[in-house]
Amino acid sequence: MGRITATELSWSVKGHRLLDNIEMVADEGKIVGLLGPNGSGKSTLLRLLAGLRGPETGTVHYDDISLRDLGRRALARRLAVVEQDVTAHNRVSVRQVVELGRTPFRGRFDPLTDRDRQIVDSVLERVDVADKQHQSWHTLSGGEKQRTQLARALAQEPREILLDEPTNHLDIRHQLELLDLLRTLDVTCVVALHDLNLAARYCDHIVVLDHGQVVDAGTPETVLTSELIESVYGVEVLIDREPTTGMLRVTYLTATAGQTTAGKVVEPW
């Protein structure tokens, strides 16, 4: 597992700054949650961290190596990416999708080795889709597709993993299992999340984006305050600790009207 560092990262489209001077660090083995409202820049930042887009300014480092100096293959051997709503060819089976995770370690026409097959078997079990492995990808439910994409990512045996809202299609059990699983791995994770309670429970560190800027970062306890949530999301919340478990708890009270964030007036929906 390695450290991911973004320094002065910016990205624009047609003169609009979508990411502005982003600074963030995901330390080795930590789970870093990216929070922020729709359109705040989470997916864009993940794509820049993944090298799927080149930054306009700034750098991304994996440990001490700049993303620019890491070749595609070297990057694919350490970094796995789970994007939102991935599509795959209709005729591909679930197992074949997961086998793609072994591609960075094989020659183009090399058959899978016994070790490759063992890894694929093991990750299919771990994300609970082993019983679906011979089913066509396109027939899976949204949650099963999401778990299959995680299995493909884990088949890469990554040191770092970037996940874009990996729980949005999952039932409650699979949401908890996915995040529990991430915690047991020796992997550095950056994960975009919408559920503030899951973020509070599973993230070591939280980075909050708003209008393409980092507006706060730190531990869940320091970042998840009612003031911050109201100013960024326009929602009044109650924050306390669940009495039995002591876990940080965010209760959503009401959407507030016309709040101001990052100097912009946001209309209520």
Ligand X SMILES: Nc1ncnc2c1ncn2[C@@H]1O[C@H](COP(=O)(O)OP(=O)(O)OP(=O)(O)O)[C@@H](O)[C@H]1O
Contacting positions for ligand X (CB under 6 A):
13, 18, 36, 38-44
Looking at the DSSP assignment, which residues form a beta bridge with residue 241? 248
**1 or 26: whose CB is closer to ligand X?**
26
Q: Which residue do the tokens 């993303």 mark?
A: 67
Rank residues 39 and 218 by Cβ distance to ligand X and give the closer one: 39
Q: In the complex, what is the shortest distance from the CB of residue 179 to ligand X, in angstroms, rounded to a whole number?
A: 18
* Residue placing its CB nearer to ligand X in the complex, 103 or 197: 197
Helix (H, G, I), strand (E, B) or coil at 149: helix
> How many CA atoms are closer than 13 Å to the CA of 154, on its beta-carbon side?
23
Pairing of strands 16-26, 31-35: unpaired
Provide the minimum distance between the beta carbon of 192 and ligand X in the complex, in angstroms, as a whole number.
6
Which residues is 189 bridged to in the sheet? 31, 161
CA 246: distance to chain centroid? Answer: 26
DSSP helix/strand/coil, 32: strand
Q: Going by C-beta distance under 8 Å and a sequence separation of 6 or more, which residues neighbour residue 243?
A: none
Which two tokens mark 172?
């409650």
Q: Which is nearer to ligand X, 42 or 152 (CB)?
A: 42
Return the number of the residue (3 or 17) whose C-beta is nearest ligand X: 17
Nearest approach in angstroms of CB 13 to ligand X is: 4
From the CB of 167, what's the least distance to ligand X, in Å?
13
- Considering the complex, what minimum distance in angstroms separates the CB of residue 258 from ligand X? 19
